[in-house]
Structure 1
């Protein structure tokens, strides 16, 4: 058995940031990362954004290097099967046992898949660097690729592909692309931008199943029609990997429940990133899957595991960039809520506030400087009733 001062289950961005956080307080404690994927941590957002659209952002820049010293070891292709809290050990699928002083659960999420269409060379459930590599091989040359999903990954991949000499069909459940998140006017612009860029939009549809035939795939849609393409890419979201925590008897509720120090009911076990259900100081208890949370919660939990007395008091933002639309947001983006729009130029630069019962629940900033995000957090933290009169002009747009 190998014993480590700090043991991290999960080899993603949270793990890499946690190592950095630990090393700010402890430069010699032994750290081991047990990652199930074949590769080490990468800056995952680049897989659907910058690697496709920024020629100066090269492939080598995606890799993170948590194994930064002789006291840190990264294990890839290593899946943990169980946690023994009494013995403070974990056991891997190959039977190896690792002991820990403090344990971090950073297991992330598993992509949602269709039962009747398993992943393969031409069926990608986009998540990993291997998925990016394969999609690069399949794209270009005006090949036809179908993208399924109208949320962050689906819209980003569709935009990335069409800007890289690929014919794209985007299938999504709502009639107007973006209408679940954006108010009507902004959703209309979002939708039209994809059409203007040459993306074929099939709204109100879903994929039932498909069949691969050599170098092509035939997809069967829910309306009885079929669609031929060279490949299909799914972006249907993820489910949090909480089975280990549940098996270990930790509290689980749509994620691993932690306190303001990202600590579970077991004082030696912590959770951060996608799986952590934590008490946000502004938004209340949340589980957030975006990169800012992975970075900030990873670093903070590293500090705490190494002895810091701090709390995780950051309210994360999330963002997406497609074509000429770069938006950042804090809180809930739900178009069923009341919205107040404050534009410098119509649907080009401005702020959208999302309200429920007079309280601001979310703030979206389109094509604005990131230094305005703290102002968005301040609006969310304000518990007084708000209206169009009190909100317009509150966050400077210029």
Structure 2
């Protein structure tokens, strides 16, 4: 099977023409290559990735690698090259896409041709207004995980900036590994932008009880890295001094490459129901794709279920399946004793219907927009995501009363 190599320059053994070319080396690229192989056993597959690692399972970086002592690194790499025969070029950046010529140029000065192209460039982490370095980390890649793990093993004082999914998972991970942890976020309560008020207060208390120092209602506006650590200057309040800082501020979809190529962009790369872009023989999938969800309408989703399922659908369509992407993805998080799955739109400012079997331990929260369910939160409720999708699909016919007891 083909093996990964760097893309500093092409070698004589490297192909310069592929039947299927994938830009991006994340989980979508892995499932896309596998999707291609479901329909085409022989077509050549190339993957151009800026990462230093072959595709790997990203959720483990902020979850099980920190919290499950029996979970090792071994299952994290996905084995894409061995499973599919794809030729993977690591540390390989694409500078230009030329759809009319069916070619891309790399920053190393090489040209690679394709029959079909899939763009799975994902997103770039939003950075702090503090110079990046060994003590100031973003969190997106396996290398970021390794760097943060090295810092955590020193058991110093680390700040996590950002109160979203990644930020809260990282804060929980660090404090459970005996790291003095500070969580800096711009909300009034941790989780307040996602959960209804009482649940958000319960969620925040989990962090306080675990020993996390909460600095809320502010943002980092600057700072300085010194020999002793990092000083973070805040918009409101006194500076925070730590040994290191990691940011979990979300991502920005990587679209400049396709925008320059004349491909339609609007909060990501706009695709149709078959994940085709506005350019001939060019598809897009994963975090970067803005697609028409069959239940919820046009949206872009930054979660692993979507990356996996959309990548597989895109790969099959590159190989000629011609099928719509009909999956409405779920997302999930595990923080201390709180484990939840969700489908649709979770927004703490929306009207909610709460159906607790045991308050803040087991229950379902329905999010309503103009009286119609647009999101379902399953709090320690399992095997119910299909039922949640049915609620959203039937939103026009359901009253508030219909929701109570609907999912158990």
Fold equivalence (TM over 0.5) = yes
Deviations 1:12-40 (A, max 9, x none): 11101101111111111000000012221
Post-superposition shift, 1:69?
Answer: 6.0
Counterpart position of 2:107: 93
The 1:57–1:283 alpha-carbon spacing in structure 2 relative to 1, beyond 3 Å, is same
- RMSD over aligned CA atoms reads 1.3
Q: Residue 122 of structure 1 contacts residue 231 of structure 1 at CA under 8 Å; is this kept in 2?
A: yes
Counterpart position of 1:153: 166
Partner Cα separation in structure 2 for residue 315 and residue 24 of structure 1? 22
Counterpart position of 1:38: 52
Does 1:368 find its partner at 2:368? no
Counterpart position of 1:388: 400
Partner Cα separation in structure 2 for residue 202 and residue 133 of structure 1? 26
Post-superposition shift, 1:210?
Answer: 1.6
After TM superposition, the structure 1 stretch with the greater mean CA deviation from structure 2, 70-79 or 169-178, is 70-79
Q: 2:326 aligns with which of 313, 316, 321?
A: 313
Counterpart position of 1:228: 241
- Runs of 4+ with deviation above 6 angstroms: none
Partner Cα separation in structure 1 for residue 35 and residue 92 of structure 2? 23
Partner Cα separation in structure 2 for residue 71 and residue 235 of structure 1? 34
After TM superposition, the structure 1 stretch with the greater mean CA deviation from structure 2, 281-290 or 242-251, is 242-251
Counterpart position of 1:3: 17
Q: 1:77 aligns with which of 65, 68, 91?
A: 91
Partner Cα separation in structure 2 for residue 367 and residue 345 of structure 1? 10
Counterpart position of 1:379: 391
After TM superposition, the structure 1 stretch with the greater mean CA deviation from structure 2, 272-281 or 56-65, is 56-65
Q: Residue 161 of structure 2 contacts residue 167 of structure 2 at CA under 8 Å; is this kept in 1?
A: yes
Counterpart position of 1:53: 67
Post-superposition shift, 1:266?
Answer: 2.0
Q: What is the TM-score of this pair, normalised by structure 2?
A: 0.94
Post-superposition shift, 1:142?
Answer: 3.8
Partner Cα separation in structure 1 for residue 104 and residue 136 of structure 2? 34
Partner Cα separation in structure 1 for residue 395 and residue 355 of structure 2? 20
Q: Residue 99 of structure 2 contacts residue 280 of structure 2 at CA under 8 Å; is this kept in 1?
A: no
Partner Cα separation in structure 1 for residue 92 and residue 154 of structure 2? 37
Post-superposition shift, 1:185?
Answer: 1.3
Counterpart position of 2:198: 185
Partner Cα separation in structure 1 for residue 250 and residue 211 of structure 2? 25
Partner Cα separation in structure 1 for residue 150 and residue 39 of structure 2? 43
Note the residue ranges of structure 2 that are not aligned, 5 or more in a row: 1-14
Note the residue ranges of structure 1 that are not aligned, 5 or more in a row: none
Post-superposition shift, 1:368?
Answer: 1.2
Does 1:105 find its partner at 2:83? no
Q: Residue 148 of structure 1 contacts residue 235 of structure 1 at CA under 8 Å; is this kept in 2?
A: yes
The 1:313–1:152 alpha-carbon spacing in structure 2 relative to 1, beyond 3 Å, is same
Partner Cα separation in structure 2 for residue 156 and residue 337 of structure 1? 24
Counterpart position of 1:332: 345
Counterpart position of 1:171: 184
Aligned residues: 394
After TM superposition, the structure 1 stretch with the greater mean CA deviation from structure 2, 299-308 or 59-68, is 59-68
Q: 2:293 aligns with which of 252, 272, 280?
A: 280
Post-superposition shift, 1:119?
Answer: 1.5
The 1:265–1:68 alpha-carbon spacing in structure 2 relative to 1, beyond 3 Å, is same
Q: Residue 161 of structure 2 contacts residue 246 of structure 2 at CA under 8 Å; is this kept in 1?
A: yes
Counterpart position of 1:27: 41
Q: Residue 340 of structure 2 contacts residue 377 of structure 2 at CA under 8 Å; is this kept in 1?
A: yes
Q: Residue 131 of structure 2 contacts residue 225 of structure 2 at CA under 8 Å; is this kept in 1?
A: no
Deviations 1:362-398 (A, max 9, x none): 00000111x20000000001132534311000112xx
